[in-house]
A and B are shown apart, each in its own frame.
Chain A
Amino acid sequence: MHLLVCGGTGCKASASDALEDKLTKELEEKSLQDEVQVVKTGCFGFCEKGPIVKVLPDNTFYTQVKPEDAKTIIEEHVIKGRKVERLLYLDPETKMHVTDSKHMGFYKKQIRVALRNCGFINPESIEEAIARDGYAALAKVLTEMTPDQAIQEILDSGLRGRGGGGFPTGLKWKLTAKEKADQKYVVCNADEGDPGAFMDRSILEGDPHSVIEAMAINGYCTGATKGLIYIRAEYPLAITRLKIAIDQAREFGLLGNDILGLGFDFDLEMRYGAGAFVCGEETALIHSMEGERGEPTFKPPFPSVEGYLKKPTNVNNVETYANIPVIFLKGANWFNKIGTEKSKGTKVFALAGKINNVGLIEVPMGTTLREVIYEIGGGIKDGKKFKAVQTGGPSGGCLTEKHLDTPIDFDNLIAVGSMMGSGGMIVMDEDDCMVSMAKFYLEFTVEESCGKCAPCRIGNKRLHEQLELITKGIGSKADLEKLRDLCNVIKDTSLCGLGQTSPNPVLSTIDNFYDEYLAHVEDQKCPAGVCKDLMQYVISHDECVGCTACARVCPVGAIAGERKGPHTIDSAICIKCGACIEKCKFNAISIQ
């Protein structure tokens, strides 16, 4: 028998260590330590009800177990084989106790659709993919459906593009299908340029066949016989696995001429990007594939009309594709039951920042930020206070405490001033400065702007300069208004999505953290203690014993004072390296 005790950071905060000790002691007292083992596990994703104890092999699932309960569990469950009713999970709807975890699927906030095979199959084996229904959707579409019917299925599913914009995928396919041309193309956008995002990489590394299969289905639906995968060269492992997968699919006759003997031809090629963020924008991506500069062009014409080599081209994101086979195998009606009214299915997020369970998650649309951060993410690191979460990367905005209960979907995120983006989610705590955060994203945008149009090229540079000044405490309330105006001009007048969204991090932080901006410009203070120029290292003369330790470690000689006498820091010389604070044994130095 095993007692699994949750040792996730969330549960640790609720005393799971003490509980584990207690269980072990109780077992030893009753000389059961050889028959029953206490084992620490990672997070169950149910932190709200922690600490959790799961008993194997009967799968009993105890919630909110206190150290005092250890004795009861051992005496009742382990020795007498009776479940401890009061510790079982009470289903809020049926008011019944749920006895075992096999019936507790509902507590799991995640459902893996796009990630269904990641972590299950060997991505370098087409056999394992086929054994888990790989290419079955392609076979079904080719044998049972006309292109129009297949497109209708995607329309009915309600699937919207996962690359950021949320455009209805079925509609996009329909638009490409209706064009008449001697050659059409389907493209997979695997550029994934958001800092901190790795959803697409993980899918390609874990399940390349699902993307290949979906592209072939797309080809059948739109009338394209050629597919191109545009992937950044910085993803060597994903590239290797894709190449292996494409070769295997060809070898098996699932790519190439006369697929499954049904007269459908389709083949794939890879194209490598140099890793510019703007090349993820579909027109820039197409130009980059044509060997031109990776710069966006005005839409219309949309790629569905005039894309790669001026031919109708359907561009979709990796994760969008990964959903396609499931829709055909399970049916549009299965798929559109997941999610919210206007956003169907799930979304994969890369959770990062000051959160305990950094990783890749997939949740139904409509899950709240609170569930993602506190249940699945296990809460904020080191028990600090949540401050904000940035969704949508450099194009998105930061959301705060008051947005925690907003159900995540395309439209809700836009309504609160952010966006879904491709799925990066960066969590910030009380130690993060929102002005610096906005500045970080602007730095990225300035770097990545292609420079084709003035509002983005010059405007973002100006924005960045302004933010730089604010982090130094220079500016006024009026400047903040000017900053806001500039943001709006850039948004309204830029050519492509990069410029049209780049001011979002600034706007949303001004809106949600206006006081923090004011503190910088009016009081010359950075409340989070991040902006170096606004910090002062001060030695308290009450505490200082004159040991000279700080003066000796200061690299720039900013500290003066006699041995055994009080020391002082000359803030004009101090470079705020923090070395002195670490050395002082008397806690005499503080940051103000």
Chain B
Amino acid sequence: MAKVKSLADLQKLKADLQTKVDLREKGEGAENLVQIKVAMATCGIASGAKQVMEFFMDELEKRNIEAVVTQTGCMGYCYAEPTVEIKLPNQDPVVFGDVDIKKADEIIEKYVKTGELVNGIIPQNYNTIDE
């Protein structure tokens, strides 16, 4: 990575990165791409988030579903770890709580494949700085 040498560089970099994110969401092939974020802070990992993340990666590939699985920090719902956020193409992201392997399987089969929601959704109960 070349160094960011000026403000203009940083702004350009941000714009590029945002476009990349946008592309992932709206660009070519995006209509099929599923994005999955697994909360991997200490609390999540202690409740098995690592195994769940591996399960998603392996199984989505096996089941031929195009997806990006990434880790993220604590979503705050320690009472419902592991928590996982799923973003289907052109839809608002949905957070699921208490996701063990069984639940992960159900999420893939129902929500990811058919858009049918399953039990265990955690509603967003906070405002962001942009609201």
**A residues apposed to B, CB below 8 Å:** 2, 4, 6-7, 37, 39-46, 54, 56, 105, 108-113, 115-125, 127-128, 130-131, 133, 135-136, 139, 142-143, 198, 201-202, 205-207, 235, 237-238, 251-254, 260-262, 326, 330, 356-362, 376
A236 to B88 alpha-carbon distance, docked (Å) = 33
Q: Is the CB of A116 within 8 A of B70?
A: no
Q: Is the CB of A260 within 8 A of B72?
A: no
A470 to B75 alpha-carbon distance, docked (Å) = 42
A97 to B52 alpha-carbon distance, docked (Å) = 41
Q: Which of A112, A121, A205, A330 contacts B127 (CB 8 A)?
A: A112
- Total interface residues on B, CB under 8 Å, equals 50
Closest to A238 in B: B42
Q: Which of A133, A260, A358 contacts B6 (CB 8 A)?
A: A260
Q: Is the CB of A110 within 8 A of B43?
A: no
Q: List 23 A-B contacts (CB under 8 A).
A: A6-B123, A39-B117, A42-B121, A54-B123, A112-B128, A113-B129, A118-B72, A118-B76, A119-B74, A121-B73, A122-B37, A122-B72, A125-B70, A131-B18, A142-B7, A205-B41, A206-B72, A251-B1, A262-B6, A262-B7, A357-B77, A358-B79, A361-B126
Q: Which of B4, B76, B128 contacts A252 (CB 8 A)?
A: B4
Q: Kindly provide the distance from the CB of B28 to the nearest chain A CB, expressed in whole angstroms.
A: 19
Which A residues are in CB contact (< 8 Å) with B14? 130-131, 133, 136
Q: Is the CB of B125 within 8 A of A45?
A: yes
A362 to B123 alpha-carbon distance, docked (Å) = 16
Q: Is the CB of B73 within 8 A of A253?
A: no
Q: Is the CB of A206 within 8 A of B73?
A: yes
Q: Is the CB of A122 within 8 A of B71?
A: yes
Q: Which of A4, A207, A356, A361 contacts B73 (CB 8 A)?
A: A207
Q: Kindly provide the distance from the CB of A329 to the nearest chain B CB, expressed in whole angstroms.
A: 8
Q: Is B34 an interface residue when CB atoms closer than 8 A count as contact? A: no
Residue of A123, A133, A238 contacting most chain B CB atoms (<10 Å) = A123
Q: Is the CB of A253 within 8 A of B3?
A: yes
A415 to B85 alpha-carbon distance, docked (Å) = 41
Q: Is the CB of A198 within 8 A of B121?
A: no
Q: Is the CB of A130 within 8 A of B123?
A: no
Q: Is the CB of B74 within 8 A of A111?
A: no
Q: Kindly provide the distance from the CB of A202 to the nearest chain B CB, expressed in whole angstroms.
A: 4
Q: Is the CB of B117 within 8 A of A37?
A: yes
Q: Which of B45, B97, B118, B128 contacts A111 (CB 8 A)?
A: B128
A2 to B123 alpha-carbon distance, docked (Å) = 14
A sample of 11 more A-B contacts (CB under 8 A), given A6-B123, A37-B117, A131-B17, is: A39-B118, A42-B97, A42-B120, A110-B126, A120-B73, A124-B71, A136-B10, A205-B73, A260-B7, A356-B79, A359-B79
A361 to B117 alpha-carbon distance, docked (Å) = 26
| A-B pairs with lowest CB-CB distance, top 9 | A206-B73, A253-B3, A45-B125, A110-B126, A119-B75, A42-B122, A359-B78, A131-B17, A360-B76
A198 to B110 alpha-carbon distance, docked (Å) = 35
Where chain B touches its partner, the secondary structure class is mixed
Q: Is the CB of A260 within 8 A of B77?
A: no
Q: Is the CB of A42 within 8 A of B3?
A: no
A133 to B4 alpha-carbon distance, docked (Å) = 14
Q: Kindly provide the distance from the CB of B16 to the nearest chain A CB, expressed in whole angstroms.
A: 9
Q: Kindly provide the distance from the CB of B115 to the nearest chain A CB, expressed in whole angstroms.
A: 9
Which B residues are in CB contact (< 8 Å) with A116? 128-129
Closest to B118 in A: A39
**B residues apposed to A, CB below 8 Å:** 1, 3-7, 9-11, 13-14, 17-18, 20-21, 37, 39, 41-43, 45, 70-80, 83, 85, 97, 116-129, 131
Which B residues are in CB contact (< 8 Å) with A207? 73
Which B residues are in CB contact (< 8 Å) with A357? 77, 79
Q: Is the CB of B117 within 8 A of A360?
A: no
Q: Is the CB of B5 within 8 A of A260?
A: yes
Which B residues are in CB contact (< 8 Å) with A54? 123
Q: Is the CB of B13 within 8 A of A130?
A: yes
Closest to A110 in B: B126
Residue of B1, B9, B21, B72 contacting most chain A CB atoms (<10 Å) = B72
A110 to B126 alpha-carbon distance, docked (Å) = 4
Q: Is the CB of A260 within 8 A of B125?
A: no
Given known pairs A205-B41, A251-B1, the reply for A359 and B76 (CB within 8 Å) is yes
Q: Is the CB of A205 within 8 A of B128?
A: no
Q: Which of B5, B39, B75, B122 contacts A253 (CB 8 A)?
A: B5
Q: Is the CB of A198 within 8 A of B73?
A: no
Which A residues are in CB contact (< 8 Å) with B127? 105, 108, 110-112
Which B residues are in CB contact (< 8 Å) with A37? 116-117
Residue of B4, B76, B118 contacting most chain A CB atoms (<10 Å) = B76
A105 to B124 alpha-carbon distance, docked (Å) = 10
A576 to B13 alpha-carbon distance, docked (Å) = 67
Closest to B124 in A: A108
Q: Is the CB of A39 within 8 A of B73?
A: no
Q: Kindly provide the distance from the CB of A4 to the nearest chain B CB, expressed in whole angstroms.
A: 6
Q: Is the CB of B76 within 8 A of A361?
A: yes
Q: Kindly provide the distance from the CB of B127 to the nearest chain A CB, expressed in whole angstroms.
A: 5
A360 to B126 alpha-carbon distance, docked (Å) = 12
